Amino acid sequence: MATALIDGQQVDFESGETILEAAEKVQIKIPTLCHAEDLSIYGGCRICVVEIEGERLLKPACATKISEGMKIKTHSPKVREVRRNIFELIVASHDISCRLNCLTCSRNQSCELREIAADIGANQTRFDPIDKGYDDDRSSVSIVREPNKCITCGRCIRKCEEVQGVGIFTMANRGPATVLTTFGDKGMGNVECTNCGQCIHACPTGALHEVYHYDRVWDMLKDEDKFVVVQTAPAVRVALAELFESKPGTIVTGQMVAGLKRLGFDRVFDTNFAADLTIMEEGTELIGRIEDGGPFPMFTSCSPGWIKYIEHFYPEYLENLSSCKSPQQMFGAVAKSYYAQQHGIDKEDMVVVSVMPCTAKKFESGRGEMDQDVDFVLTTRELGRMVKEAGIDLVNLAEEDYDPMMGESTGAGSIFGSSGGVMEAALRTAYELITEEELEELDFEPVRGAEGIKEAEVEIKGMTVKTAVASGLSNVGQLLEKIKNGEEYHFVEMMACPGGCIGGGGQPIPTNQETVEERMKAIYEIDAGKKKRKSHQNKEVQQLYEDYLGAPNSHLAHELLHTNYIKREI
Amino acid sequence: MLNFLKKDPILAIEDYDFTAFKQVLNTPAENIISDIKTADLKGRGGAGFPAGVKWELARKEKSAEKYVVCNADEGEPGTFKDRYLLENSPWQVLEGILISAYVIGAEKGYIYIRGEYVKPIKIFNKIIEKAEKKGLLGENILGSEFDFELELIRGAGAYICGDETSLLNSIEGQRPRSRIKPPYPIQSGLYGKPTLVNNVETLAAAVEIINQGVETYTALGTAESNGTKLISLSGEVNEPGVYEIEFGSLTIREIVEQLGKGIRNNGQLKFVVPGGVSTSILPQEKLDIPYSYEDIKAAGSNTGSGAMIVVSEENDLIDLMLNVAEFFMSETCGTCFPCREGIRQVCYLLENAKERGYLTQRDFELITDLSQTTYLAARCGLGQSSLNFVTSVLEHYRDELLQGGGQ
Amino acid sequence: MARANLLERLHTIQDTYGYIPENEINKLSDQFDLPRSKVYGTIKFYSMFYTEPTGKYMVRVCDSLSCHLNDSEGLVTAVKNYLGIADGETTEDKKFTLEVVECLGHCGEGPVMMVNDQIYTYLNENRAIQILKDCM
- DSSP assignment of B102-130 equals HHHT-SEEEEEE-TT-HHHHHHHHHHHHH
Closest CA to B48 of B296, B311, B400, B322: B296
What number of CA atoms fall less than 13 Å from residue B282's CA on the CB side? Answer: 28
Between CA B249 and CA B341 the distance in angstroms is: 42
pLDDT of A98 over the 60 cut: no
Mean per-residue pLDDT over chain C, rounded: 95
Q: What is the pLDDT of residues A103-128, one digit of tens each?
A: 889 999 899 999 999 999 999 889 98
**What is the domain class of B220-312 according to CATH?**
alpha beta
Contact present, B110 and B155 (Cβ < 8 Å): no
Task: For residues A497-512, give the mean pLDDT.
Answer: 98
A170 to C38: CB separation less than 8 angstroms, yes or no = yes
Q: On the CB side of A88, how many CA atoms lie within 13 Å of its CA?
A: 22
| Contact in structure between B299 and B252 (CB atoms under 8 Å) | no
Q: What is the per-residue pLDDT across A352-388, written as a single tens digit (0 to 9) for each? A: 999 999 999 999 999 999 989 999 999 999 999 999 9
Q: How many CB atoms lie within 10 A of CB C104?
A: 27
- Taking the C-alpha atoms of residue A85 and residue A97, their distance in angstroms, rounded to an integer, is 20
Distance from CA of B143 to the nearest CA of C (A): 30
Distance from CA of A183 to the nearest CA of C (A): 4
User: How many CA atoms lie within 13 Å of B246's alpha carbon, on the beta-carbon side?
Assistant: 13
What domains lie within chain A, and their CATH numbers? Answer: 2-75 (3.10.20.740), 143-210 (3.30.70.20), 225-561 (3.40.50.1780)
CA dist A7 and A17 (Å) reads 17
Please tell me which residue of chain C has the smallest CA distance to A161. Answer: C35
Interface test with C, best of B149, B154, B234 (most C CBs within 10 A): B234
Cβ neighbours, 10 Å, residue C71: 15
The pLDDT of residue A294 = 86
pLDDT at A1 over 90: no
Instruction: Note the ipTM here.
Output: 0.96
What pLDDT score was predicted for residue B362?
A: 95
Given the DSSP bridges, would you call strands A9-13 and A2-6 parallel, antiparallel or unpaired?
antiparallel
Q: What is the DSSP letter of A545?
A: I
Domain chopping of chain C, boundaries = 6-45, 57-135
**Which residues in chain B touch residue A130, judged by CB atoms under 8 angstroms apart?**
344, 348
Bridge partner list, A144: A209
Tell me the sheet residues that pair with C59.
C98, C115
Give me the pLDDT at residue A199, please. Answer: 98
Q: Which of B236, B21, B266, B249 is nearest to B148 (CA)?
A: B21
Q: What is the CATH T-level fold of the domain C57-135, as seen in this structure?
A: Glutaredoxin (3.40.30)
pLDDT at B405: 46
Active site residues of A: 282, 285, 302, 322, 361, 364, 369, 501
- Residue-level pLDDT at C50: 97
What is the Cα–Cα distance from A6 to A50, expressed in whole angstroms? Answer: 10
Q: What angle do CA C17, C19, C24 make, to 5 degrees?
A: 75
The secondary structure of A38-105, three-state, reads: CCCCCCCCCCCEEEECCCCCCEECCCCECCCCCEEECCCHHHHHHHHHHHHHHHHHCCCCCCCCHHHC
Residues 6+ apart with CB under 8 A from A193: A140, A142, A143, A166, A168, A182, A308
Bridge partners for B283 per DSSP: B271
The span from the CA of A94 to the CA of A122, in Å, is 15
Classified as helix, coil or strand, B42 is: strand
Instruction: State yes or no: pLDDT of B206 exceeds 80.
Output: yes
Pick C105's closest partner by Cβ from B74, B153, B330: B74
Q: Parallel, antiparallel, or unpaired: how do β-strands A491-495 and A298-299 relate?
A: parallel
Instruction: List the single residue in C7, C8, C102 with the smallest CB-CB distance to B331.
Output: C102
**CA pair distance A453, A163, nearest whole angstrom:** 13
Contacting partners of chain C (3+ CB pairs under 8 A):
A, B
- Domain spans of chain B, in order of start: 13-218, 220-312, 317-402
Tens digit of pLDDT for each residue in A403-442? 999 999 999 999 999 999 999 999 999 999 999 999 989 9
C 116-135: CB under 8 A from B: 117-119
Per-residue pLDDT of B162-203, as tens digits, reads: 999 999 999 999 999 999 989 999 999 999 999 999 999 999
A285-312 pLDDT per residue, tens: 999 999 898 899 999 999 999 999 999 9
Which pLDDT score is estimated for C1? 44
Q: Does domain B13-218 have CATH number 3.30.470.10?
A: no
Pairing assessment for the beta strands A9-13 and A59-60 based on DSSP bridges? unpaired
pTM of the entire predicted model = 0.95
Average pLDDT over residues A491-506: 98
Instruction: Kindly determine whether residue C40 and residue A169, on different chains, have CB atoms separated by under 8 Å.
Output: no
pLDDT value of position C3: 63
Residue A61 near residue A30 (C-beta atoms within 8 A): yes
DSSP A547: I
Instruction: Check residue A41 and give left, alpha or beta (phi > 0: left; psi -120 to 50: alpha).
Output: beta
Is C135 marked as binding a ligand? no
CATH architecture assigned to B317-402: Up-down Bundle (1.20)
pLDDT at residue B47, as a whole number: 87
Q: Do A170 and C25 touch (CB under 8 A)?
A: no
**Residues of B whose CB is below 8 A from A93:** 341, 344
